[in-house]
Structure 1
Amino acid sequence: MEFFKFCISLLVLQTLLTISRITATVSPSCPVVFREYIGALGKNVTFSDVPINPNVEFHFLLSFAIDYTNTISPEPTNGDFLIYWDTDNLTPSHISSIKAKHKNVRVGMSLGGDTVNGKNATFAPTSITSWVRNAIYSITKIAKEYNLDAIDIDYEHFNVDPDTFAECIGRLLYFLKQNNVISYTSIAPYADDSVQVHYLALWRKYGHLIDYINFQFYAYVKGTTIPQFLQYFETQRCNYKGGKILVSFGTNNIGGLSPEHGFFDACTILRSQGKLHGIFIWSADDSMKDHFRYEKLSQNLLASAT
């Protein structure tokens, strides 16, 4: 363990010394992808419960890893991440099993989220250097234990300026990719000015390291129409110019454009325009009640586009 920490420390030092020399490069071409958040609500959902179409790239996103103490009254830990997803039903052995059964499956973890034990999961680093060092160590450890392929950034509360957020997350993503800890990266913003300002700062400086934008279109007002949805999509295309923006809905009926009111029609329009890069759903835990009906429909639509 001490040797592992020593190696991580050397790699962190190398990252911090070279980070200023990062040059913008285009992310590798990504196939059409279906992504699903899983494990946040403790409803005993497993990977094998979710239908998987072999003709799409399928990403599970474990929800969440959070740099908070794992107590009744959680507090920030400056980048020392702990697992908060359902560790009884979503284990390393479960990941190995689903990957062996489905060669198109990748598994990642999402960082942050909305709340932990009823308290906001706030991004609150002590300093850029210390947060990055701690995050690299703790996330690398989790990624190796669970054999993860991806990392998703889903912070929704901030006690830091946008530039500091951008530096912390950007340096973390750079290290994880540069050292082959993970293969895919994504961010999960939504249309709130206090949230967007942080993610846009990250995108402007480190967008070349981000493969997908899991934009939370379900955070728009409930009852969104197809024309409104398409306009929202165009707005975010302008915000994250050049990024692969994934469309989304929630199976908890939270808001946005629902499948019952034209989500798939909107997807068909985007596909005809060459703008449909993928779909993600929040979340598998909520989808159990409908036997994953919309997961099947989403993947069938994406498979027909390949």
Structure 2
Amino acid sequence: MGLSRKMKSEAILPLLFLLQLLVAPPSLMAAGPANVFREYIGAEFNNVKFSDVPIHSNVEEFHFLLSFAIDFDASSRSFTNGAFDVFWDSDNLNPSAVASIKKDHSNVRVGVSLGGDTVDNGGSVFFKPSSIHSWVSNAEHSLTKIIKTYNLDGIDIDYEHFKSDPDTFAECIGQLIKRLKKKGIISFASIAPFDDDEVQSHYLALWKRYGHLIDYVNFQFYAYDKGTTIGQFIQHFKDQMSNYEGGRILASLVSDDSGGLVPKNGFFKACRRLKKEKLLNGIFIWSADDSQAKGFDYEKTAQSLLAKPN
């Protein structure tokens, strides 16, 4: 006895749904809030504290990103193949400070950003693995120790200079994220690319293979020219949505107004347009260190915008 036409149709529907999941952009299955504010902190050593930064209780999640952990040895001035050490202001941003800010604000999560642009002597931070296996093994071990010591929640990938090919970068970073998530060491991972051919080639290779493990794309829109207009910003944003298809692309600004679409030229107006189009997943700012001198006005405005109902 065969199935009726209706029964056949009903039987096919679950299969179609499963097929859609399999072929959908992988990052659509990544977890995380749609209303997130993120702030890099600690790179400038100007005594900024977590408690200095205003935190809006109606922002679903507020992420501090400690800047930076680097696989570099300061004494020998050499890169260490995935053996990470703390290079942020650990006097003010120490484990007890992390515990305190998370206790005082239930929506706060704290992560660590890896790499960055320059190390403390002004030289470039390079992604320089000896091999995929050794780099991943060293990175997993050293970062697990840092993450557990500081009770951190996630990692952000902000390498900007490379002594490796894109495939090696993709495998090193992708395998690291996979291991840390599988073992429950981290609950989120993000990447911080910008519009540069070398940078994009590395991050897009990573995205193609491991995008399903990456929760946020902290795209550095402030790396575009300072004269960026609202229309150009919106176009840049949509271009990166296409590049990192299915990803949670965050709008971004630099608080010293040195690049991109600055607030006085319409950054928050652009964000409101993106929000109206249901494209705004969150906002991040580089950095709390520079914002301190401005009384964190940009942080207050950004969080109010995110917390306001559509």
SS in structure 2 opposite 1:119? Answer: coil
The correspondence for 2:146, drawn from 142, 147, 151, is 142
The correspondence for 1:249, drawn from 250, 253, 276, is 253
Deviation at 1:305, TM superposition (A): 3.7
CA radius of gyration, larger in: 2
Q: Partner letter of residue 210 of structure 1?
A: I
The correspondence for 1:36, drawn from 39, 46, 70, is 39
What CA RMSD, in Å, does the superposition of the two structures yield over aligned residues? 1.2
Asked whether the equivalents of residues 32 and 188 of structure 2 are also in contact (C-alpha less than 8 Å), the reply is no
Asked whether the equivalents of residues 70 and 82 of structure 1 are also in contact (C-alpha less than 8 Å), the reply is no
Task: Give unmatched runs, 5+ long, in structure 2.
Answer: 1-25
Deviation at 1:183, TM superposition (A): 0.4
- Deviation track 1:166-223 (CA, whole Å, cap 9, x = no partner) reads 0000000000100010101000000001100000000000000000000000000011
Asked whether the equivalents of residues 42 and 48 of structure 2 are also in contact (C-alpha less than 8 Å), the reply is yes
Structure 1 equivalent of residue 237 of structure 2: 233
Q: Distance in 1 between matches of 2:163 and 2:309?
A: 41
Structure 2 equivalent of residue 3 of structure 1: none
Deviation at 1:253, TM superposition (A): 1.7
Q: Partner letter of residue 88 of structure 2?
A: W
The correspondence for 1:65, drawn from 59, 64, 69, is 69
Q: Distance in 1 between matches of 2:196 and 2:46?
A: 29
Deviation at 1:74, TM superposition (A): 2.2
Q: Distance in 2 between matches of 1:305 and 1:91?
A: 35
Normalising by structure 1, we get a TM-score of 0.91
Percent of aligned pairs with the same residue?
A: 61
The correspondence for 2:111, drawn from 90, 108, 111, is 108
Asked whether the equivalents of residues 151 and 182 of structure 1 are also in contact (C-alpha less than 8 Å), the reply is yes
* Bigger Cα displacement from structure 2, 27-36 vs 290-299: 27-36
Structure 1 equivalent of residue 81 of structure 2: 78
The correspondence for 1:203, drawn from 201, 207, 213, is 207
Deviation at 1:29, TM superposition (A): 4.5
Asked whether the equivalents of residues 114 and 155 of structure 2 are also in contact (C-alpha less than 8 Å), the reply is yes
Structure 2 residue 272 is the aligned partner of structure 1 residue 268: yes
Q: Distance in 2 between matches of 1:29 and 1:79?
A: 27
Deviation at 1:274, TM superposition (A): 0.5
Deviation at 1:30, TM superposition (A): 2.4
Q: Partner letter of residue 50 of structure 1?
A: V
> What is the correspondence of 1:85-234 to structure 2 with a 5 Å cutoff?
85-117=88-120, 118-234=122-238
Structure 2 residue 48 is the aligned partner of structure 1 residue 45: yes
Asked whether the equivalents of residues 74 and 119 of structure 1 are also in contact (C-alpha less than 8 Å), the reply is no
Structure 1 equivalent of residue 262 of structure 2: 258
Q: Distance in 1 between matches of 2:258 and 2:132?
A: 34
Q: How many residues align?
A: 283
The correspondence for 1:302, drawn from 299, 302, 306, is 306
Normalising by structure 2, we get a TM-score of 0.90
Task: Give unmatched runs, 5+ long, in structure 1.
Answer: 1-23
- Deviation track 1:99-150 (CA, whole Å, cap 9, x = no partner) reads 1100000000000000002111000000000000000000000000000001
Structure 2 equivalent of residue 10 of structure 1: none
Structure 2 residue 30 is the aligned partner of structure 1 residue 27: yes
Asked whether the equivalents of residues 271 and 305 of structure 1 are also in contact (C-alpha less than 8 Å), the reply is no
